A and B are shown apart, each in its own frame.
Chain A
């Protein structure tokens, strides 16, 4: 079946602009995660949704970052007033549930470049 998809695959924006990154999880997966991967680093947790609610947003670096999942499926990561340090690959993953031993399936990522 279809895996996790993310759009756009690449996004170039100017410093100070607003961006939205979209994630389509695997159908039926209630858990959704966002990670950020900077160059030369492993993925870093940002936020976790169980259904429609953000159950853990402890990884969001500051209040410029926000994410929603209004219908419990598609999620959008929103970044306001982008900074050059926000440049990274943003990964989305989904799993059947957050608790338990369910595998997380990753999307291809969105490469964000802030100029």
Chain B
């Protein structure tokens, strides 16, 4: 069955420290993976997708099919990165998304 796992509910780091938010998936087909972010009192929004291979706000994520992972990384965390982050898997031909449970990133000054 399709599944997305984010093992950490909370990740707390100091400003300037590196950040890695973990995401593992289970899917028998060709995966299409996303990271969504929800800042305080804002709606859920797309951060990045693996097919774009782009860096957004300094964040990158590489799809590792061997390890079935799509970890989100940033070399130097900023206080404004504090938010809830969700990893999501798109499957089927309808575009529906399966989300992980989410990780709260807290960047301390």
Q: A residues engaging B (CB < 8 A)?
A: 3, 31, 33, 35, 40-45, 48, 50, 55-56, 59, 91, 95, 97-109
Residue among A31, A102, A104, A107 with max Cβ neighbours from chain B (10 Å): A104
Shortest A21–chain B CB gap in Å is 15
Query: Which segment of B12-20, B42-50, B56-64, B69-77 sits at the interface?
Result: B42-50
Q: Are A95 and B101 in contact (CB under 8 A)?
A: no
Q: Report the separation of the CA atoms of residues A43 and B88 in the bound assembly, to the nearest whole angstrom.
A: 9
Q: B51 within 8 Å of A by Cβ?
A: yes
Q: Are B86 and A48 in contact (CB under 8 A)?
A: no
Q: Are A48 and B95 in contact (CB under 8 A)?
A: yes
Query: Assuming A56-B96, A99-B93, A101-B32, what are 16 further A-B pairs, CB within 8 angstroms?
Result: A31-B95, A33-B95, A33-B96, A40-B9, A41-B101, A42-B6, A42-B101, A48-B94, A48-B96, A91-B44, A101-B51, A103-B49, A104-B95, A105-B45, A106-B44, A108-B43
Q: Report the separation of the CA atoms of residues A48 and B93 in the bound assembly, to the nearest whole angstrom.
A: 11
B86, B92, B97, B102: the one within 8 Å of A104 (CB)? B97
Q: Are B43 and A45 in contact (CB under 8 A)?
A: no
Closest to B46 in A: A103
Q: B99 within 8 Å of A by Cβ?
A: yes
Shortest B75–chain A CB gap in Å is 26
